[in-house]
Chains A and B, each alone.
Chain A
Amino acid sequence: MTTALSPAPFDAARFAEFLRLHHLPARADAGSPEAYWAALTWEQREDTGLDPETLAARYAEFLTLDRPPGREMALHSLDVLRGRDKSGAPERYDLRFAPGDVVCLVGPTGAGKSRLLADIECLAQRDTPTGRQVLINGQPPGDAERFSGESGLVAQISQNMNFVIDLPVGEFLHMHAESRALTDPAPIVDQVLRAAVAMAGEPFDADTQVTQLSGGQSRALMIADAAFLSPKPVVLIDEIENAGVDRRAALDLFVRKGKIVLLSTHDPLLALSGSRRLVIRHGAVQDVITPGPEEQAMVTRLVEIDARLADLRSRLRNGERISAFPA
C-alpha cells in the first residue's frame, strides 16, 4: 500500500465520509484521526472494534481511492497462447488481439467460449484447465497484476443483464463516474448519454429512470457506458438483440474507443462483421476465419436487409399499415 509520506492537509469532509462508510460515530470537531480517537468515549471506542493505529491506516487507505488509479492499463496487445482441448489434445492457434479488434466467437453452448473468456479475465498462466497463457503487451502479467484488488481486464454485456438500481440515467452515470475518481465527469456523462440515445431506436434523457428504459434503450446505455466510462480495455458481449439498438453503431463505438471486442454471437450481420471469427469446439479454438471478399460483400447485403427491417419496425411502431415489402 502506498501511503503518502508527506501527509496531505486534513480534509474534514473526506474524514466525515470515511466515518459514515465505516459506521463510526460522527464528530464534526476532530482535526485529525488521532484527535477523533481521543474525543471518543471508551464505550464508543469499544464499539468501533478498532485501535487508533488501525483507524489511521484505514483512513490513509481510504484516501488513496480518491486518486484515479495509476494502474489503468494501457493495453497495446493481448495474446492468448495455445492450450489444449477437453481431451488434452493441443490447440492449434495462438491468438493476438489489438485495440480496435472485433473478434466473434462462434460455437455451440458448452463448446468452451466462456472458458476462453474466463482465461482472459483471470490472465491464465498455464494454470487453468485449458493450459492457456495470456500475455499483456507481450509479457506475462506479474502476480501483483493478477491478484491485487479487483483485477480483470474484461467488461461484460449480456442479454441477461439488467439495471437494478432505481435512479435517473444522469445520476446513475455520475455515480459510475464517481467510482472512477474522474475530476470532471459531466462531459463524459453527456457523451455516454448522446451515444446511447443515438444507438437506441427511441429517445430518452438524463431524467429517465434507468429501470423505465426499454430493452433496446438499456442495452444501448450499457454499451455506451462500457465504451466511455468503463476502464476495462476488453469488452465481452454475449449477443446484442436486434430490436431497438443499432448493432453496427455499437461495434463502431467500441472500435473508435480502442476496445478489444469479443463478441459471442450467431447473428449473421454481427458474426460476419468481425475482423476475425473464432470457431470454438470441444474446449479449444478449432479454426480462425478471416472474412474474405464473399463474406464482406454479404455484410453489405445484410446491412441493407437490416435497414429495411429497421424501417419496417419503426413504421409498425408508428401505427402504419404495411402494404408492400420495403424496398
Chain B
Amino acid sequence: MRLVTVAGPPSSGKTSLIVRTLLALRDDGLRVGVVKFDCLSTQDAAVFERHEIPALVGISSGFCPDHYFISNIEDCAAWGERLGLDLLVTESAGLCNRCAPHIRGFLAVCVLDALSGVNTPRKVGPMLKTADLVVITKGDIVSQAEREVFAFRVRQVNPRARILFVNGITGQGAWEAARIWRSASENGVLEGGRLRFSVPTAVCSYCLGETRIGSDHQHGTVRKIPIPS
C-alpha cells in the first residue's frame, strides 16, 4: 500500500484536492482511502462518504495534533491494509506552522492557496520545505504574474519539489496529481521510520493542563522571548 501525507493551512483546498485526485486514481482501478486528522471537529467525512471513499477521522481535541498524528499513523496504515487499499492518504492541517506530518520514504504533499497571497510560501514552515509535491490551489482566480511569483517563492524555499497547479472545483490538474501519487513508493516502512522534521520539543506545565499565568506555574521546558533590557 502507498501512503501519501497531505498537509496545508486550513481552507487551502486539501479535501477538494484529495477527493479529485482519489477519484482519478479510482478510475484507474486503485482502491483508495483517507485518514482525516483534525483538531476540533470535521465535516469532511461526509464529503468522502458521498464519493464512497472509505474515511477514518481522528480528532486530537486537547492533544497536540502533530504528536497525535505521529502516534497514530501506524494504526491508521494498518486499517488501510485491512481494507485492502492500494493507496491511503492522510490529511492534516499544519497548525502551528512549525510541524509537518511528512515521513521519510513516503510521498509528501503540501497544499497552498494562491489566493492567500505571494507571501504565503515565505510563512509556511517544514510542511512546505520538506514536501516532494507542492500543489497550488485557486490559481484560476489570480493573475498569471502572481502565479509565477508564487511558484518562484515556493522554489526559493524548496527547489526540489514538483509544483503543480490544481483547480479543486473543476479538477483540472488532478489527473496529473494522480499520476504522481500513483508512482509513490509502495514499500515504505513506518515502523522504525522517521519524520522528515522533528515536532517541537515542549514539555511544560501547560502541556499538562495548567491554565494559570505566572512563573510560579511554569515548570519543565520553558522558553522566554529575549527582550533587550
Contacts and interface: CB of A to CB of B under 8 A. Distances in A.
Nearest to A127: B179
B125 interface: yes
Nearest to A148: B162
Contacts of A179: 148-149, 152-153
A62 B145 contact: no
A161 B157 contact: no
B175 interface: yes
B1 interface: no
A69 to B, nearest CB: 10
Contacts of A218: 143
Contact of B145 (A49, A65, A225): A225
Contacts of A271: none
Interface stretch (A134-142, A150-158, A254-262): A150-158
A28 interface: no
A65 B159 contact: yes
B198 interface: yes
B145 A229 contact: yes
Contacts of B146: 163-165
Interface string B140-165: 11111110110111111101111101
Contacts of A65: 152, 155-156, 159
A129 B140 CA distance: 22
A226 B144 contact: yes
A49 B99 CA distance: 10
B170 interface: yes
Contact of B144 (A118, A148, A175, A230): A230
B208 to A, nearest CB: 22
B126 A49 contact: yes
Contacts of B145: 172-173, 176, 222, 225-226, 229-230
B175 A158 contact: no
Contacts of B172: 114, 118
Interface in B111-154: 115, 117-118, 122, 125-126, 129, 140-146, 148-149, 151-154
Contacts of A129: 175
A190 B177 CA distance: 38
A147 B162 contact: yes
Give the bracket for the number of chain B residues in contact with chain A. 35 or more
B197 interface: yes
A164 B117 contact: yes
A172 B143 CA distance: 12
B210 interface: no
A176 B180 CA distance: 29
B159 A62 contact: yes
A163 B161 CA distance: 26
Given A161-B141, A222-B145, A23 B156 contact: no
A148 B152 CA distance: 14
B52 interface: no
A150 B144 contact: no
A149 B155 contact: yes
Contacts of B115: 164
A61 B160 contact: yes
B144 A161 contact: yes
Central interface residue in B115, B117, B143, B201, by most chain A CB within 10 Å: B143
Contacts of B74: none
Given A114-B170, A118-B172, A225 B156 contact: no
Contacts of B142: 161-164
B162 A149 contact: yes
Contact of A160 (B117, B118, B141, B153): B141
B176 interface: yes
Given A161-B143, A164-B117, 16 more contacts: A1-B160, A65-B159, A122-B176, A127-B179, A148-B162, A149-B161, A158-B140, A160-B140, A161-B144, A163-B146, A173-B145, A176-B145, A179-B148, A179-B152, A180-B148, A225-B143
Sorted nearest first, the 4 A-B pairs with minimum C-beta distance are A179-B152, A150-B163, A61-B159, A176-B145
27 contacts: A1-B159, A21-B122, A22-B157, A49-B197, A65-B152, A65-B159, A118-B172, A118-B173, A118-B175, A122-B175, A127-B179, A148-B162, A149-B159, A149-B161, A150-B154, A156-B144, A158-B140, A160-B141, A162-B142, A164-B142, A165-B146, A176-B145, A222-B143, A222-B144, A226-B144, A231-B148, A232-B144
Interface of A: 1, 21-23, 46, 49, 61-62, 64-65, 114, 118, 122, 127-129, 147-150, 152, 155-158, 160-165, 172-173, 175-176, 179-180, 218, 222, 225-226, 229-232
